Amino acid sequence: MPQGTKINKIEKDLRFQLVAALICREYSTRQILNYVNNPPRDKATGELKFKSWNIKERQLRNYIAGCYRIFRKNTDQKVEDKIARHIAIRQLLFQSARDTGDIKTALEVEKDIANLEGLYKVTIESRMKQEIVITGAPPPVETPEDDPNAGINDVAG
pLDDT tens, position by position, 78-125: 778 878 888 999 999 999 999 999 999 999 999 999 988 888 765 555
The stretch 138-147 carries a mean pLDDT of 50
Residues in a beta bridge with 49: none
Q: Answer yes or no: is pLDDT of 146 > 70.
A: no
pTM over 0.75: no
**What is the residue-wise DSSP string for 71-98?**
HHHHHTS-HHHHHHHHHHHHHHHHHHHH
Q: Answer yes or no: is pLDDT of 24 > 80.
A: yes
Tell me the C-alpha to C-alpha distance, in Å, between residue 150 and each of 110, 114, 143, 157.
Answer: 54, 49, 6, 13
Cα distance between residue 106 and residue 110, in whole Å: 6
- Residue in 42, 30, 35 with CA at minimum distance from that of residue 15: 35
Can you give the pLDDT at residue 74?
Answer: 78
At 5, is the secondary structure helix, strand, or coil? coil
Q: Which residue has the higher pLDDT, 78 or 3?
A: 78
The stretch 127-154 carries a mean pLDDT of 51
**42 — alpha (psi -120 to 50), left (phi > 0) or beta?**
beta
Q: Where are the domains of the chain?
A: 9-75, 79-135
Burial degree of 74 (CB within 10 A; 0-12, 13-18, 19+): exposed
Can you give the pLDDT at residue 156?
Answer: 44
Residues in a beta bridge with 48: 41
Q: How many CA within 13 A on the CB side of residue 36?
A: 29
Q: Answer yes or no: is pLDDT of 37 > 70.
A: yes
Can you give the pLDDT at residue 126?
Answer: 58
The stretch 136-148 carries a mean pLDDT of 50
Q: Answer yes or no: is pLDDT of 58 > 60.
A: yes
The stretch 71-79 carries a mean pLDDT of 79
Q: Which residue has the higher pLDDT, 119 or 41?
A: 41
